[in-house]
Structure 1
Amino acid sequence: MINRFSVLFPIFFAAILAFISYWVQVSVENESEKRGNKLSNSPDYFLTNFKTTQTESNGSIHFILSANEMTHYPQDDTTRLKKPLFIRYKNNVPSSKIEGGIGFVSTDGEEVQIIDNVKVARLETETKPKMELFTDQLTILPNKDQAFTKRPVRITQDPKTVVNAIGMNYDKKNGIMTLLARVRVHYEKPVKKNNLNVQPITQNKNLKK
């Protein structure tokens, strides 16, 4: 019995040492992996007063994307923007503006997502009144001139038109905006300002007669 115990004890002790060594190795690897993930989540560079411009083939400005701060994250190769501002141009003149609290740019730069107090403004022209859209999330495809959201939107247009809906798709090239669900429209017919001047003028003419 003693001889059998003398043989088994070294084997048992070696097994315990092997298990302890394995446990230590796994623990170290897990800790290293956690630290590596934590480090990879850290940004590798950032810029302040960021601004990028894309031009058309003829040299005119297509759009300008700017932000107070731009931070790049190497883990997923994404870019985060603080206070982003997207300005679309037509004939080198700003035609619309999109701004918000935070922005994210995809790896290939083909998609820009803006969240937190998003405001879209179509600037007033000689033929079109000013229009504004408000939501809390908007995805922009700059090179396709498209934008969309599944979130609630509120649209106002001068002088007194208000539209509320859930979800919106906008295709600028084709000039089509599609509201997806629960569309409600409030419209007030504008009052002609010159109506009040008609009667006094008529009275003056009658007096001359």
Structure 2
Amino acid sequence: MRASIDRLYPVLALALLAAGTVWLERVSRVEDPAAAGAQRTGPDFIAEQTRILGFGSDGRQRYELISERLTHYPQDDTTKLDQPRLTMQSEGRQLRLTSAEADVSPGGERVDMSGEVRGRREGGADRPEITFASEKLTVWPDDHRAATDTPVVLTQGQSTATARGLRADNLFGNLTLIGDAKVNMPRRPRNPS
């Protein structure tokens, strides 16, 4: 009888060890990997002095986005930019936009610029440059569109326009001023007859 009890000790010890291992694994296991990622509240990466280039289907560069600091948050897959500078090509002319900060949507389809948003589109042979000022501007770089519902000031040469908002297709090629739009154009000099 003693020999049969001595044979049970190793089996009992292994059973207790297995039960302890199962218990420890269940206590320390994270149930859902997605939930574990959602619990993380900080950024997953930060980069200084970044430069992002976007290309069209024809292989030509469409835009360049430079930022002093880029911070990515995995919770909602957004990216925050400090002092972004967005340069885009449209109709052979360059548009430059700057702001204090910006949020880039997941996938990069939309850039929400805020804080002293300034823009300048190069002039052409028959058009002076256009400048833009507002506190916020949403840009869709791939679609070459922009919009804001905050007050804007536009200048082109000696002309100035103000409004409560703006919609732009072809990035300042076709502009729609929204709400209380006012345009100040200098008088043309009269031709002596």
Aligned-partner Cα distance in 1 for 2:120–2:147: 15
Equivalent residues in 2 for 1:55-134, closer than 5 Å: 55-90=55-90, 95-134=94-133
Aligned-partner Cα distance in 2 for 1:101–1:121: 16
More helix by share: 1
Aligned-partner Cα distance in 2 for 1:175–1:157: 12
Match of 2:43 in 1: 43
User: Aligned-pair distance for 1:72?
Assistant: 0.5
User: Aligned-pair distance for 1:94?
Assistant: 5.5
Q: Which amino acid aligns with 1:161?
A: S
* 177, 180, 183: which one aligns with 2:181: 183
> Normalising to structure 1: TM-score of the pair?
0.68
Long gaps (5+) in structure 1: 1-35, 196-209
Aligned-partner Cα distance in 1 for 2:109–2:76: 15
Question: Relative contact order: is structure 1 or structure 2 higher (C-alpha 8 Å, sep ≥ 6)?
Answer: 2
Aligned-partner Cα distance in 1 for 2:134–2:37: 34
User: Aligned-pair distance for 1:187?
Assistant: 1.2
Aligned-partner Cα distance in 1 for 2:69–2:175: 31
Q: Summarize the Cα distance change of 1:83–1:191 in structure 2 as closer, same or farther, 3 Å threshold.
A: farther
Q: Summarize the Cα distance change of 1:63–1:38 in structure 2 as closer, same or farther, 3 Å threshold.
A: closer
Q: Summarize the Cα distance change of 1:155–1:174 in structure 2 as closer, same or farther, 3 Å threshold.
A: closer
User: Aligned-pair distance for 1:56?
Assistant: 2.3
User: Aligned-pair distance for 1:98?
Assistant: 0.7
Which protein shows a greater Rg? Answer: 1
Q: Secondary structure at the match of 2:149?
A: strand
Match of 1:167 in 2: 165
CA contact 1:110–1:143 (8 Å) conserved in 2: yes
Q: Summarize the Cα distance change of 1:82–1:186 in structure 2 as closer, same or farther, 3 Å threshold.
A: same
CA contact 2:90–2:170 (8 Å) conserved in 1: no
User: Aligned-pair distance for 1:133?
Assistant: 0.8
